[in-house]
Amino acid sequence: MRGPPGRLGGMTNPLIDSLTAVVSDRPGDVPLRLHLAELLIADGRGADAVPHLGVVLASEPTNERAAALMRSALGVPEAPAQVAPTAEAMAAPAATPQPADTPTAPAPTAPAPQKSAPASGSGADEATPASSNTPTQGGESQNFDWRSAEEQVGGPAPAFVNGAEPVYNEAPPAAEDVWDVEIATSTLADVGGMQDVKDRLNMAFLAPLRNPELRRLYGKSLKGGLMLYGPPGCGKTYIARALAGEIGASFITVTLTDILDQFIGNSEANLHSLFVTARKHAPVVLFLDEIDAIGQKRSQSTSAAWRGVTNQLLMEMDGIGADNEGVFILAATNTPWDVDPALRRPGRFDRSVAVLPPDAPARHSILYHYLKDRPMEGIDLGVLVRQTNGFTGADLAHLVDSAAEFAMMDSLRTGTVRMMTMQDFANALKQVRPSAGPWFSSARNIVEYGNRDGQYDDLAAYMKANKLL
């Protein structure tokens, strides 16, 4: 028997083989599938466990056991547990510093501080914060009960002592409250055609992930990023989400508006919070849309705020002070030539893939997807595929909607409901044109004069094949 993918050699485990057969018969048995994943990981077959864990997380995104096993299967280190403060520490009153050269009033008779935690709604958290162990006149630390003093003198406790700034107990919102973490359900099998794009994704991410022993042998890291570029409407976001579903990873998508903030420093803080969340949910596909805006060329930016955002992105991608293992960073842009060169050096977005108007198999798949639930007769997909060369995925969706409008309006005019026909598409093709033409016009100069390092060779090949150069 040939060994499973990702394992060197052909030895198998009889128990694992038996459980695999049972899981095939009982695909909805989550505990059994998790048990099988545990056995696979213990047997050094983490890559084989990833699809099982992906199935569980797709149906139960909050399953902590599945998430922990997924991290173990991918070799992602667990985040260090945060030690919660003890009840004694929370209940201990803060010591209030006294002015060193101001006579202190005699301490009022008040009960000693209680060791138990304050009751909910008692207002104990409203007491003014102050640093403890502050020297007093006698050179010793002193705990002053401002609450008891307030009750006796009938006035509020001071907002500050010795000119110190007031401290507020408002914590920033948790990263999970800000960034949406999805569980992708689509896979690369759902992407019609685009075999070149799939091959590049397999080389960059899938093959190293599914073959951990070979990955370790060749020293291949799971870090790094890949940039998807091309005209609008060609499915860059869909491909990124399909990659996340392929490896059973979480998915986070971010646009320019999610990052930018009008106040100085907040945009950089947003970027840091984003990467903190991504590392916490590893394995994760972090998709940065409009990377040309987030990481635009610093030499062309007149704003220090813009340069600060780009610098922060560089630091986060380098994993300064953190580990990006298991964080798969994908970016999309319509204008890769506007991305800062520092973002494209090795270790960052050092690989790029042109996502261009779909080829014939992809157009067939897209047209079938948009037509399969509509009333139609006599539709020849082969003819439509030949007539729509150069159409983007968005153009094809628009074409089908336009044809449906012609059929619907004719039904309203005649009072007889009819099916969509090829004549409706003939009418729609008179109005709908490929939208990528202006993009290729702007890219022509880049391909002809700015491709000395060969980074746009795949774009050049497409344009030559379609007589766009």
Task: Tell me the C-alpha distance between 76 and 436, whole Å.
Answer: 41
**CATH 1.10.8.60 segments of the chain:** 360-429
Positions of CATH 3.40.50.300 in the chain: 179-354
Question: Which residues contact residue 141 at a Cβ distance below 8 angstroms, ignoring those fewer than 6 apart?
Answer: 95, 132, 133, 134, 135
Calculate the dihedral angle through the C-alpha atoms of 255, 75, 55, 233, rounding to the nearest 10 degrees. 30
Q: Spelled out in words, what is the top-level CATH class assigned to the domain 360-429?
A: mainly alpha
CATH topology of domain 179-354: Rossmann fold (3.40.50)
- Sheet of strand 225-229: strand arrangement: 182-183, 250-254, 284-288, 327-333, 225-229, 351-354
Predicted pLDDT at 151: 55
pLDDT recorded at residue 145: 65
pLDDT in the model for residue 417? 93
pLDDT (0 to 100) of residue 144: 58
Low pLDDT (below 70) residues in the chain: 1-12, 76-177, 222-224, 299-305, 320-321
